[in-house]
Structure formats: structure tokens, C-alpha cells
Structure 1
Amino acid sequence: MCELYGIISNKPISLNESLKLFYKHSAQNPKGWGLSYWNDKSEITIYNEGKSANDSDLLQDILSHPIESKVSIGHIRTATVGLMSDKNSHPFTTNDCTGRRWTLAHNGNIYTGSQLLPFRDKQLGETDSECILLYLVDCINKKTQEKGNPLNSKERCEVIDSITKDLSQGNKLTLLIYDTEQFYAYTNIQELLYVSSQEDYYCFVSVPLENSFFWNKVPLNILIVYSGNEQIYHSQDHGNEFLKTTPMKFHNFTL
């Protein structure tokens, strides 16, 4: 399985130490890496490489300079099928019809999800994860067009809540998403997303980092949403925990 990393804060914090600890796990996840973070103008800096983070001169150069941000999403890839390529490396990012930029990283597998199939011809790479983002933005666009105005905070939460409830049925789904204002976290797999609550921020990881933080499991089957270091949304339990006995129908997506 891949590993995720996410930070959401109410003020810029230094990311270098936690990123270095996170990318140390690349020996077990050598099929690609990615990193995104935002400045105070909500402008994204994003890097993706289809190689092990341990072999990346680019990443070493990035981490040799101070990185401060309120928000970051990182990913290291373990691919069972599919090419090692920049286009298959998370996180993925695109704009909705209002110009809002959405960024997503995924850990898991999509076995059943016909709603994602129309986006196979629209994606740049080969992964189910990119299709999830395209499907998500398509849903946001449809709701926006129905309303005739951009969706507000609660409405965006409700759309993502509906998507995670739908896609978590029969699939392995752990997601970190950022829409330039709100940070979304979701998992339906035991012990594949942890969170550490600090004074000014939350840090999310798939595998606890080797630091002094105390790590808690993120609640299963529940979408949680943050603005800065304030939790603004907590869904009901979707009840779609993925178990080893869950029936699987493979749609030939790749991680």
C-alpha cells in the first residue's frame, strides 16, 4: 500500500523535519513520490516523480531548503500494476468550473466503481486515484451548475461526504484532499491513517513517523474536514469498512 502525508495548520509551520521522516519510508514505497504545499495566496507548489524518493536528487534539493506552509499533502507510491511515471505519481490536482483548485492523494484500491470509468479517457495517467479526483470535481461542477453559484463550505463538505460514502462500498479508500480552503480526511481501512494533534496544526500519516508525537487512529468510515486547525465537519459513520472478506470486482485500475 502507498503512504500519505498531510498537514493542516492555522499558520505557516516548518515542514522539513516531518517530510524527511516521511520520505524515509520510501524504501518500502519505491514506485514514485509527490509533494504539494501552498503559500499564503493559496498558490500551489507541486512536484511528482516516477522514481523512488530515496533516488531523487530533486527531492533532496527541495528538502535542503526551508519549507514553510499552512497546508501540505505528500505521497509515496507502492504500485502493484502500472508504470512508474510522473503522471502516475500523487498528489493529483485540477480546477473546478469556478476556478477552485482541488488536490488529492489516495491510498487503496478501487475494485468496483463504474462511476469512475467515464474518466479513464480524460485522465493524464493510468491510476484510479486520478479518476477519483476527476469524478469528485465533476460532482462539484454539477452541484455548482444546479445551484447557479459557487458552493459554500457546508455544501462542498456534503458533496465530498456523499462521494466517500459511495466509493467506500467495496473499495479500499483512504483520501487526503484540499480545496484551497478546506482539508478533508477519510479512511475505511483499519490502521491506514493516523493523526497527531499539535498546538497549531494536525499532521496525518499512513504510518506513524519516528518522532515524539502521539499518534491516534483516524476514525473509520467518517469524513472529517478542517479549516486551519479547526474541525468544521464530521460526517456520520458510513459503515463501509473494507475487510479482507469484502467481495471484490476488479476494474483494472492501478494505484
Structure 2
Amino acid sequence: MRKKIKIAQNGHNTIYEERRKSMCELFGVDSAKKIPLNELLREFFSDGTEHPHGWGMAFFYGNAVSLEKQPQSAVTSNYLKQRLRAKIETDKMIAHIRLATRGTMDYENTHPFVMRDNYDRTWTLAHNGTIFESEVLEPFVATEDGDTDSERILCYIIDQVNAAQDEKGAALTKEERFALLNRIILEIAPENKLNLLIFDGEIMYIHTNYKDSLYRCRKDKAIVMATRPLDRDKWKNVPMNQLLAYEDGKLIYTGTKHEYEFVDSEEKMHMLFLDFANL
């Protein structure tokens, strides 16, 4: 296995290496032009040994999505090995490797998730974290395709977008979509671990409320986001507790700063252990 990239803070490594073993991982790109991604993706997917429950990639072409995913380890997937040998250049994408805490090891539970709203806009979501408490997500247990808390987040987003568009009688503008997602983040962030990458065909949204678990790196006209630094370039922590929105590699909106940082506790770790034991 290739050596993991680490960054130093005041002469000490971050706590990433330990946290990496207990959570999914995210990767995203938003750029004004296509960039080569093979090396970054190989490094990202090399963590598949310790994240064996699924891998996925979503490539975006305007409102169209090309979705590739399997409910197996990235390092054992012959399809992914062949895919990474071919040239991969794109301007917008989301990737994910899964370490299941909730939901069985099935295709329907493998990230990213894709849904369309009632004005035919395509939304794609990948999540790293766990929903411990959220009454607004509970109704979607009965309607989601799989059985993950992550898919229910996207179900709720689509539900709220549809309701807002029905009330308006027209599709939401990008400013209105950002405001709606900002409200949803404030609703579901309390008591929950909420690292998210979301793309709506136009805007890439990113959010974290878990310290040292999501980074970003400027590469020419691109912004690259990942759970850990993937090369020797200058990676910085994504700002905590605030929804960000990028378009063509540029930060266009920043959301409301909230105080719902997720902090690990013995009680929540016990809940995760019980869920994992039942997979």
C-alpha cells in the first residue's frame, strides 16, 4: 500500500490517520477547466482496504451525471483498476469510499446518491458522517431506495426544493438554492457528523462540522476537496461549521456560521458499534 500523505501542524502530525479508520472518505473537484485526476484518484482510492464497503464516482456534464459505483472495496475492484489506468480528465466530480456505520453493503447504499427535483435538476450527494438525531429525516426511512442515513439527507433536500419550487411556481435560482441548503444544514447539523459534498448541476456545495476531516487545495483554476491531503501541495482545512458554494472553481457563497461542531463521545461511539455489529 502506498504511503499516506500527512501534513504537519506545529511539528506534529494531524489526528487524521486515526480518524481515517472510523469514517468514510470524500473527494471532490470543481474547476473552470478539465484537469488530470488519475494520480489524485489513485491516492484517494488506496484507502479502500480500510474502507471496504463500497466506492463510487460521479462525473458531471451540465445537468447530466455519469455514475460509477460498486458495493465492494476499491482495492479489489477490477473495474476500478481498469478505470484508473485510462486517462481521467474532468472539471467537476465527486468520489467516495465507504466505511459503513449504518446501512447494508448493497449498491443502493453506495455513495454518491443521485436524484432529480420537480424541475428536472439533478442533485448528487456524498456524505461522510452519521446522523444520530434528526426528526426531519425520519419520514424518508420508508421511501428511500436503500437504508442509509446519508440517502435520507438527499431525500429531504429534494423534498424541500420541490416544496419551494411548487410554492414559487418556477425553478429556484442558484441564490435561492443556496439559501435553502444553508437552512437545511442549520436544521440537521446539531448532534450529527455532517461532512458533505453536493452538486446541483451548477454549484458544488461543501460542509464540515468535524475537526481535521475535510481539506481543500487550490490547483490553478480548480478547487480540490478531500478527507485527507492527497499530495504534497498546500492543503488547508475547509472552514468549520459553514456551508460553502463553488462555481467553476470560485467560491461564490458562504453560509451562516453555526456552533454545531461534532465531537466524538463514548455514547455515540457505542451507538455506532451497535449499528456496525448489526450490518
Distance 2:275 2:158 in 1: 19
Residue in 2 aligned with 1:20? 42
Distance 2:104 2:82 in 1: 25
Residue in 1 aligned with 2:242? 222
Extract unaligned runs of 5+ from structure 1: none
What secondary structure does 1:161 align onto? Answer: helix
TM-score, structure 2 normalization? 0.86
Distance 2:102 2:173 in 1: 38
Matches within 5 A, 1:72-91: 72-91=93-112
Residue in 1 aligned with 2:198? 177
Q: Cα offset for 1:244?
A: 2.5
Q: Does 1:231 align with 2:251?
A: yes
Extract unaligned runs of 5+ from structure 2: 1-22
Q: Cα offset for 1:62?
A: 1.4
**Residue identity in the other structure for 1:238:** H
Whether the aligned pair in 1 keeps the contact of 2:101 and 2:130 (CA below 8 Å) is no
Matches within 5 A, 1:59-78: 59-78=80-99
What secondary structure does 1:10 align onto? Answer: strand
What secondary structure does 1:122 align onto? Answer: coil
Matches within 5 A, 1:55-134: 55-134=76-155
Q: Does 1:34 align with 2:60?
A: no
Q: Deviations over 1:145-178 (max 9, x none)?
A: 1111110011000011011111101101000000
Residue in 2 aligned with 1:152? 173
Residue in 2 aligned with 1:4? 26
**Residue identity in the other structure for 2:73:** S
Q: Deviations over 1:1-49 (max 9, x none)?
A: 000000000111122121111001111211111111123x442111121
Whether the aligned pair in 2 keeps the contact of 1:111 and 1:170 (CA below 8 Å) is yes
Rg larger for: 2
Distance 1:48 1:145 in 2: 33
Q: Deviations over 1:171-224 (max 9, x none)?
A: 010000000000000011001110001211011001111x22111001110000
What percentage of aligned pairs have identical amino acids? 37
Whether the aligned pair in 2 keeps the contact of 1:31 and 1:51 (CA below 8 Å) is yes
Q: Deviations over 1:105-139 (max 9, x none)?
A: 00000010111111111111111000100101111
Whether the aligned pair in 1 keeps the contact of 2:215 and 2:238 (CA below 8 Å) is yes
What secondary structure does 2:257 align onto? Answer: coil
Distance 1:103 1:242 in 2: 23
What secondary structure does 1:59 align onto? Answer: helix
**Residue identity in the other structure for 1:197:** R
What secondary structure does 2:52 align onto? Answer: coil
Distance 2:75 2:263 in 1: 32
Whether the aligned pair in 2 keeps the contact of 1:23 and 1:54 (CA below 8 Å) is yes
TM-score, structure 1 normalization? 0.94
Distance 1:56 1:106 in 2: 21
Distance 1:129 1:247 in 2: 21
Q: Does 1:203 align with 2:224?
A: yes
